[in-house]
Chain A
Amino acid sequence: MSKGSRLINNSLDRPAVVTWLMIGVAVVIALAAALPSLPADWPVIAQLQPVLRKMHRIRVDTDPENMLSPDEPVRVFHDEMKKTLDLHDMVVIGVVNDENPNGMFNPASLKKVHALTAYAKTLRGAVIGEPEGQGVIVKDIIALSTVDNIEPSSAGVKFSWLMRQPPQTEQEALKIGQNARRVPFLDGTVVSDKPGREGKAVAIYLPLTRKDLSHKIYLRIRKKADELGGPEKFYITGLPVAEDTFGVEMFIQMAISAPAAMLVIFVLMLAFFRKLLLVISPMIVAMVSVILTMGALIIAGFPVHIMSSMIPIFIMPIAVLDSIHIISEFFEKYQLTRDRKKTIRTVMDDLFMPMLYTSLTSAAGFASLALTPIPPVQVFGMFVAMGIMVAWLLTVTFIPAYIMFISPRKLENFGAVHREGRHAHETMLTKFLRWTGSMTYRRAKPILAITMVVLVIAGWGISRINVNDNPVKWFAPSHPIRVADRVLNDHFGGTYMAYLALRVPEKEFRNDQQREQFVKQFASAVSERAETLKGENPAVTRVFEELANSARTLVRKAKIPSEVLKSLAETIERKQGQVGEPSAAPIESGPPALPGGLDVSGEGPTVPTPAKQDQLVKSAWRSAGLFISEQVQDGEIFKRPDVLEYIIQIQNHFKSGGTVGKTNSLADIVRTVRRDFVSGKQEDYRIPASKSAVGQMLVQFQSSHRKDDLWHFATKDYRTTSIWLQLTSGDNRNMSRIVRNLEKFMRQTPPPVPMEVNWFGLTYINIEWQARMVWGMFNAFAGSFLVVFLLMTILFRSALWGLLSMIPLTVTIGAIYGAIGLIGKDYDMPVAVLSSLTLGLAVDFAIHFLARARAMQRKYGSWEKTSGAVFGEPARAIMRNIIVIAAGFLPLLLAPLVPYQTVGALLAIILLTSGVGTLLLLPAMIRLIEKPLFNPKGKTGVTCSCVTCIISAAALFALIMVNLHMYIPLGGNVMWIVAVIVVAVSAVGCRLLSNRQACTHDSAGNREGVSK
């Protein structure tokens, strides 16, 4: 009696019930997933709204930032700094003119740039179908027509718009170019500066309120650019565009790749079995599995991410695998009995356990992705695992039911046809397999020797693996975004933004002693100042004394010194008779309310006049105000000339090599203003000697059309500053190198003030999740390896068989990753994800091979005889599977998105390799260790063999540790001690278990079975 026969009997006896049940569930899930996302004003949908509103709509998430969970410190910091410095993700438009000798700086080209910028300003709110306030942030657009020019002229320093209106003459146009190149902030950012390409291109930077608006903005800009026409070329890039566009194309991909995969599989199956009616059934299984899985994903409220969009393409080929085995055997055996029921029963007897285990191992491989600390990968793993088990259930229930629907008349030629009609071809495959079988028997040792050589080369290749990713490279090289990326980075300082945050937080008072210390210093500074002023104004003595006293009271409650100073400043304002906290006027439309002091008649209530103060006392308080302001400004670290010089050193360090094309900083602003105030000459491009001069430069900088630009570079307390980096490459590898090199630089050249150094920006975030991915994937791989091993040991009731089944896939994965290292393909997100799921897929072939080999060995007695039989029907089924599943992933190669291509190509190669590996390595291994493998004393039950039991226990323990250490940091020593204890305990336990009654009894029974 086979396991699960009740399940199968059900299908055989009540095929209609089983079929309708499946269809019913699929329809319900599909509706529950789709309805909430349909337009709410559709007739039936409208009535269902009360229910639908509570359900999840389809959410799409294309943001690689979400590779990290939102509470990851690096993301929290990124968001915090973006808010603090009012920075936003930017779309970058580049306009290039290669035909005009003056590049872009001619009236016609600049007119287009002007028009495009003006158009970009309108891309917000209703114009782009978004709520008010969403879209392009107009005040922060960086473009020729939105920035200021500072210019020393004979009439004095001149502040003006760089290009308020498009120029009328060539001269004017050239002048704009010259001016732009003079301003360090603009050169290499807004106007191209690369040697030989100076002025050939200009850029427009559009900061967005949300980066998921990028694609919308992208399409509109694209259209406008087409209207503007040539000879200028328009390019649009920037990480947000890449990320958002990827999301849009991902859906197109889903709609193309999945059906294409289905078609390929369908055609192949038709070629193998020549029975359209029968071949449709696995297609139904695949489709229903996809519907159920994606439906469940949406209903559960998970977003469709780059990863989860690949779920259908993974489930489809895997879902048909088991069906192929069933049909394949049914195909071979039907003509023997011509009885559907009987044939299916025999087939399912043979296949039920291997199918269950192949599904379980595949599912385990995917489920292990839940071990990675990357949320979208976790979701992907769990749902593919679910989909595989759904597909298994459907295969063992629906396929038998479906076969029962086919009338025997229609099956008359089935199988028989193949024997005659495809005789030649069939013999070829059969011949080939038979030859392979005997070859593995005769040449077992050379096969294993070659394998060892492959493994050694692979090991070397793996050591050369290059961990790297770059969302822009997710597009094929010919994609407009890739092209734009290349062109713009050839012209400008770079379009990838990363930011370095330098912070010197104020030290908190840790105890009252420190408070006292502060007050003491403060009081002595106060009295010193009072001393110098009292000659001029005797009232100062009393006023400053009051100041010191207030400080003594205020410090008690203060957490930081600046709190005391702030309160003192308020006290001083009150003393000068000024109103306290300013209150904003309400922002309402309609006629304004009358201000205090006015009524309709013109008189109104008088605003109380503060009591007249002695002029001297008032002046003394004014001096006190200045004194406090000085104290406050002492804390403004990033106005200090020495600190600004250090920032310049950092910038020079970045410039000294690598992919940093350009940097912008507070120091550059200060230097530029100073240069143009003093002489306009390059020799005056430097930091002034005093801090107050720096302060004055910054006030002048703010006296512009863009007063708030300063706050992108410093916070208002000047304790945080940011250096902008423009990188010419978004490769994580390059960003990592920049981070490492800076650490080294700062160790060698310490800053004048200890400061916190942190990175933020999209380019940096990418390296953070990548680091997690590499280790996360390693954990997932270790986890799934152990799970699969345990499952194999349980299936075969032997650790030796378990290990044997792991060999082909281990060699395959080693070889593939070695090859990746050797050919220099980057280890990126898709490659990383593939490692653990390959495991679950590749072991399938081994399971089928070994399960059938073991069963046949019982029949034939020796491997020499068994080998021939195994290379008959079982090997043919495996070969068919290898071809179908490998080909099923090939349509991904047609995708214009690189991750899909990678997955498609790699999976096909991996499956081919592991299939071939299975058919070569396993028989060769079996040949060598035939004796211990087919030991007639073999006991059933994992716990019955002491060795198997101990190894299983150790594997289980290791599995638990791999899982646990993600959440609990355990020291290496602790782990080893626990490991030794666990192994010792399990050894004793296993000894007892294997000697128990059940085992001896069972093994006796087994021996009987064998001898029979």
Chain B
Amino acid sequence: MELLTNQVLAGIATGAIYACMALAVVMIYQAIDHLNFAQGEMAMFSTFISWQLMQWGIPYWWAFLATLIISFAGGIMIERLLFKPLSKAPVLTNVAGFIALFAIVNSIAGLIWDFTIKQYPTPFGSSPFLGSQLISTHQAGMIGVTLLMLVGLYLFFQFTRIGLAMRAAAALPESARLVGVNTSWMIALGWGMASAIGAVAGILIAPVVFLEPNMMGGVLVYGFAAAVLGGLSSPLGAVIGGFLVGVFENLAGTYIPGVGNELKLPIALALIITVLVFKPAGLFGRAIVKRV
């Protein structure tokens, strides 16, 4: 029983990271109908920025905050420079753009910080949380920071005018323009926020997976799995999907024989395929309608 509780809690901790990635992916998907395949790489790059800031002697939380701001600005810049011009281009062109971004960010991170694996600090320590053996303080910290951020985002989207305008722009761009919403900037804002959310995910997971340019590849696939499970059209679904996937991953690793660490990615793949077969709209998404 203690093993089960232990695994569920550990799953919730990694699930928090998947929830962040899924949310970032869904936010951009809602705004522009494309999946950002470079979301993980952007998060990795943000994490390196925070690491660099700490190397220069800036304390953890200041580096954290500065990284969020830099990531936010960087996300907006990427949208303005690279993807706004592609907004009317065919899907293929957009996918090519995301793939290109993926390659560039990954490569540049390697060029600047090289491909060796680096330790990444945690401000929470890794002692048992509240004296219990169930989870570590860092895992508790991952859950705490993520929940804090999610509540913040919820309040932002539910109770601020800009949040309302962003929701309107994502739901019905043309109608949103007709009430005077500058939808183009709302998209840029969405990119900035997604980029910052990804940065949080990267910074929190870095002490676990260690810092290197390929650290987010697997995490992003799990983020995709979470987004698909929750439904690509539902931010709330993405978050719930993230936690579910995290718990599922840990339980499968513990209780299904032959599934160890080495099978983590195939499990995510299997999960994606299963959802696409049985419930393509996801748990919370709207059915997908296509017109001629």
- Our verdict on whether A and B bind, yes or no, reads no
